[in-house]
């Protein structure tokens, strides 16, 4: 059977995915600096973290996050520090030449790790999965099947949206070649602003 209000769930996550949050800012920057192929690993890291978060919430920790705000606060500061690091890394990197044959100096694991940590340390994700995700599951019936449907839908659409952002960024690469530091400066600034917003607004 379909989970509760499945269409509403679709509407919510599609809205979340088309909104340019932190993972999409990272994907845009990485697409321009390292190419779309390498962004696939970053996107896989992102959705792996989301799968891990959803599984923990539904099958392991339940209401632990809601009852222990210090845990969320820890993730908040880890995420803030990592966003600051990424902002510096993005600012210092050089946009990739579309005709370049040079292989990126970042490893596959590094791309995957960045995606995993950005999503895995996001307080917004740790709030979404315990507070919103379970509302679409009827625990009086076969909730494992419902969980599988919901998380598969979430992961697939999230991955597609991330790669969509990467492809869109590549369309702008010609303009970026004429303004090589502009996108890096903008992306780094946005990451810093997001980190500051998290510090100010997300109190647990």
Return the HEC string of 168-204: HHHHCHHHHHHCCCHHHHHHHHHHHHHHHHHHHHCCC
**Around Cβ 13, how many Cβ atoms within 10 Å?**
19
Q: How far is CA 125 from CA 90, 132, 133, 190, in A?
A: 23, 10, 10, 19
pLDDT at res. 72: 64
pLDDT at res. 67: 64
- The reported pTM is 0.71
Orientation angle between helical segments 108-120 and 36-56, nearest 10 degrees: 40
pLDDT at res. 21: 75
pLDDT at res. 75: 67
- Give me the average pLDDT of each 10-residue run along the chain (204 residues): 76 80 85 88 95 86 63 73 77 57 70 92 75 77 87 95 90 66 74 77 62
Q: Tell me how far apart the alpha carbons of residues 94 and 105 are, in angstroms, rounded to a whole number.
A: 11
pLDDT at res. 103: 45
């Amino acid at each position: 059977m379909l989970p509760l209000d499945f269409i509403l769930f679709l509407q919510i996550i599609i809205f979340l995915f088309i909104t340019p949050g932190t993972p999409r800012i990272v994907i845009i920057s990485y697409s321009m600096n390292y190419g779309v192929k390498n962004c696939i690993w970053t996107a896989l890291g992102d959705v792996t973290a989301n799968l891990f978060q959803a599984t923990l919430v539904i099958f392991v920790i339940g209401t632990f996050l809601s009852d222990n705000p210090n845990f969320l606060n820890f993730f908040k500061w880890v995420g803030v520090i990592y966003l600051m690091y990424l902002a510096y890394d993005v600012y210092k990197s050089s946009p990739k030449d579309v005709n370049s044959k040079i292989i990126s100096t970042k490893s596959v694991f590094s791309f995957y790790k960045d995606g995993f940590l950005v999503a895995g340390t996001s307080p917004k994700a740790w709030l979404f999965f315990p507070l919103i995700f379970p509302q679409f599951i009827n625990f009086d019936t076969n909730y494992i099947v419902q969980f599988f449907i919901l998380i598969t839908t979430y992961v697939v659409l999230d991955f597609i949206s991330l790669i969509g952002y990467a492809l869109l960024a590549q369309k702008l690469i010609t303009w970026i070649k004429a303004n090589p530091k502009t996108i890096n400066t903008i992306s780094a600034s946005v990451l810093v602003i997001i980190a500051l917003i998290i510090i100010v607004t997300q109190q647990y």
